[in-house]
């Protein structure tokens, strides 16, 4: 009888080793290698028969000019924010991975999607590996979900799940979650690298060969990335992250990978007792609690995909009590704050080296585009001087290391959003003028460098600040 062989696999990156090691050479993670049984090698004939039976008829290579092109008919979810993130709707045969922190609302959103599709005569099969049928029914009753086109099944064995898909023949399948399902011929526990990878491969084959859209729910690690090997994100067509503070009611659905649409779109929802509701005008939500006349505040128009969103940047500058001043950021990159403060010291003469700096994006949203630089700089100077900026100002621009204000993209859409919400003035890069029409009822001011922007926003230069000319 052949001796069973084992190997050690990293649960973070999938690195394989013949012996156990405390530190993974692949991702440098500690205590991540777990012992698993090696899968017995199959003969070449068995491999061919398996692929033919599950994958259908093999095709010969074709010239790209001979391939017939037709538009994919997307299936609307009837939830506009989700349609926006997916690129217009669900593509039949696509495999979508939805990740997020526990309790953030992943299952609630997908159950609501199941309800809207089933109400429009689309068959939906909801596979719950974490809840019993009665628990799923209780949650469905709370959300007001239920009709004859929505099928629920509590199962974790992938082979039985495939049989259930054959019986129902649905238009959409939801697997909640991928870390709970398993293949019987793999000896490792559910949620391990081998189980997650092979189970996802089976669902990918089902989606591509039968034209069924499949949504997979994925758990996340302490670092915020989806648990399991990174290959899981490479296998699927789209990766959606559900973000937001558990203590806030607003949730942000962000696409970090999408083969059928833009990867910069976001959808914003509000968590209520009856489930998630769409936020049609997120700018009003992010600015509704803004304090008037407070220093350290500036409003910026940021682009999230094709949508302009107005958010408030808040800064608090205070004298430090330590040898090294603290730099803390929430919603923006920590390194960007240090860079902007260095530019303010060098180019505007504002000495911040003996002050702690705390910068936050109000509302729990995360921004990473360069156009928010100028708003961060103005909010820092406003807090440093304890001088509030004008409540009717929106500030847009990228700050260069030499102090210049660089142009940003889609300036017309940003200014139109500011005008729609009743703002009186917009400070933009001087190089963004020309080629577009200024909306009525709003004043647009151009700034060439950081000193001009500070002078316009706060009315005056820092004492002793050097004159800076481009």
Beta carbons within 8 Å of 288's beta carbon, 6+ residues apart: none
Q: According to the annotation, is 337 in a ligand binding site?
A: no
What are the angstrom distances between the C-alpha of 159 and each of 162, 198, 269, 422, 454? 5, 12, 35, 58, 64
CA 210 to chain centre: 29
Burial 62-80 (b: 16+ CB within 10 A, else e): eeeeeeeeeeeebbbbbbe
What count of other Cβ atoms lies within 10 Å of the Cβ of residue 307? 17
CA dihedral 285, 287, 291, 295 (to 10 degrees): 150
Q: According to the annotation, is 101 in a ligand binding site?
A: yes
Stated as kind and residue range, the H or E segment containing 268 is strand 266-272
Q: According to the annotation, is 105 in a ligand binding site?
A: yes
How do strand 124-128 and strand 150-153 relate by DSSP bridges? parallel
3-state SS, 401-460, equals: CCCEEECCCCHHHHHHHHHHCCCCEEEEEHHHCCCCCCCCCCEEEEECEHHHHHHHHHCC
Distance from C-alpha of 119 to C-alpha of 136, rounded to nearest angstrom: 18
Collapsed DSSP state (helix, strand, coil) of residue 307:
strand
Collapsed DSSP state (helix, strand, coil) of residue 293:
coil
Distance from C-alpha of 464 to C-alpha of 470, rounded to nearest angstrom: 19
| Per-residue tokens: 222 | 């302490």
Distance from C-alpha of 411 to C-alpha of 418, rounded to nearest angstrom: 11
Candidates 243, 263, 245, 261; CA nearest to 253 is 243
**Residue 444 bridge partners (DSSP):** 426
Q: According to the annotation, is 128 in a ligand binding site?
A: no
Burial 266-275 (b: 16+ CB within 10 A, else e): bbbbbbeeeb
Q: What is the CA radius of gyration of the chain?
A: 27
Binding residues for ATP: 100-107
Binding residues: 100-107
């Amino acid at each position: 009888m052949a001796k069973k062989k084992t190997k050690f696999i990293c649960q973070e990156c999938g690195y394989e080793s013949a012996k156990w090691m405390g530190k993974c050479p692949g991702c440098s993670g500690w205590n991540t290698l777990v012992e698993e049984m090696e899968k017995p090698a199959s003969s070449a004939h068995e491999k061919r028969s398996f692929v033919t039976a599950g994958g259908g008829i093999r095709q010969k290579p074709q010239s790209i000019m001979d391939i017939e092109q037709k538009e994919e008919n997307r299936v609307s979810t009837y939830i506009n924010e989700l349609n926006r993130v997916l690129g217009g709707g669900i593509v039949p045969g696509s495999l979508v991975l939805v990740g997020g922190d526990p309790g953030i609302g992943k299952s609630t959103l997908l159950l609501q999607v199941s309800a809207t599709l089933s109400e429009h005569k689309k068959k939906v099969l909801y596979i719950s590996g974490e809840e019993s049928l009665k628990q799923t029914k209780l949650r469905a009753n709370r959300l007001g979900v239920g009709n004859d086109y929505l099928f629920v099944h509590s199962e974790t064995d992938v082979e039985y799940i495939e049989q259930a898909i054959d019986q129902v023949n649905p238009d959409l399948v939801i697997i909640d979650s991928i870390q709970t399902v398993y293949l019987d011929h793999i000896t490792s526990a559910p949620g391990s690298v081998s189980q997650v990878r092979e189970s996802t491969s089976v669902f990918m084959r089902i989606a591509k060969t039968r034209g069924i859209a499949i949504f997979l729910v994925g758990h996340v690690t302490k670092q915020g990335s989806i648990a399991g090997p990174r290959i899981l994100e490479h296998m699927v067509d789209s990766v959606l992250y559900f973000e937001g503070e558990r203590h806030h009611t607003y949730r942000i659905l962000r696409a970090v990978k999408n083969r059928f649409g833009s990867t910069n779109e976001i959808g914003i929802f509000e968590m209520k007792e009856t489930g998630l509701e769409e936020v049609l005008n997120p700018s009003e939500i992010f600015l509704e609690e803004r304090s008037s006349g407070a220093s350290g505040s500036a409003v910026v128009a940021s682009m999230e995909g094709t949508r302009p969103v107005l958010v408030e940047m808040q800064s608090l500058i205070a004298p430090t009590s330590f040898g090294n001043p603290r730099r803390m950021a929430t919603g923006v990159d920590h390194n960007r704050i240090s860079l902007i403060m260095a530019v303010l010291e060098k180019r505007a003469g504002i000495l911040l080296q003996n002050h702690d700096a705390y910068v936050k994006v109000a509302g729990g949203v995360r921004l990473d585009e360069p156009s928010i630089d100028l708003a961060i700089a103005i909010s820092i100077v406003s807090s440093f001087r304890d001088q509030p900026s004008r409540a009717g100002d929106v500030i847009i621009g990228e700050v260069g290391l030499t102090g210049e204000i660089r142009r940003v993209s889609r300036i017309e859409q940003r200014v139109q959003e500011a005008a729609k919400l009743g703002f009186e003035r917009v400070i933009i890069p001087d190089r963004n003028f020309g080629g577009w029409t200024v909306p009525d009822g709003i004043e647009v001011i151009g700034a060439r460098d950081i000193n001009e922007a500070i002078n316009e926003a706060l009315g005056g230069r820092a004492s002793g600040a050097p004159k800076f000319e481009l």
